[in-house]
Amino acid sequence: MKSFDEFNKMVDSAEKKQIAIDFDGVIHDSKLGFHDGTVYGEVIPGAEEALKTISKTYNIVIYTCKARTDRPLINSKTGPELIWEWLEKNNLESYVKEIVSEKPLAAFYIDDKAIEFTEWDKTLRRLFV
């Protein structure tokens, strides 16, 4: 079992070295939503160059609900297997370190549905105005 100090060092190191990027809507266009469960879409314009640039400084971890372990198999493949296959088909796999189902430790998060938090009044205005 890790000590508190060891855990803190691990968290600090991971947060400095990683950027977490949502898959659908940021890298993969997913225009049809879940559709048939496959990873069918196109690469979002600019994603390849962005991943290439980011990967020179950070480890890229893709997070997506498609990687959930309770997700059904599609064509006998898990969500991560389907995503790796799509990344390879689009020559993006070399930029990605890992695919996970939950937000990992990271210096930054890139997500198409995010609302940047600075204070609650501004956040509520973004949600309801």
pLDDT tens per residue, range 72-93? 999 999 999 999 999 999 999 9
Q: Which residues of the chain have pLDDT under 50?
A: none
Give the amino acid at 10.
M
The pair of structure tokens assigned to 21 is: 């990027």
- Euclidean distance between CA atoms 53 and 127, whole angstroms: 32
- Euclidean distance between CA atoms 80 and 63, whole angstroms: 10
- Euclidean distance between CA atoms 56 and 84, whole angstroms: 20
- Euclidean distance between CA atoms 125 and 118, whole angstroms: 12
Q: What residue ranges define each of the domains in the chain, with the CATH number in brackets?
A: 4-128 (3.40.50)
pLDDT computed for residue 50 by the predictor: 98
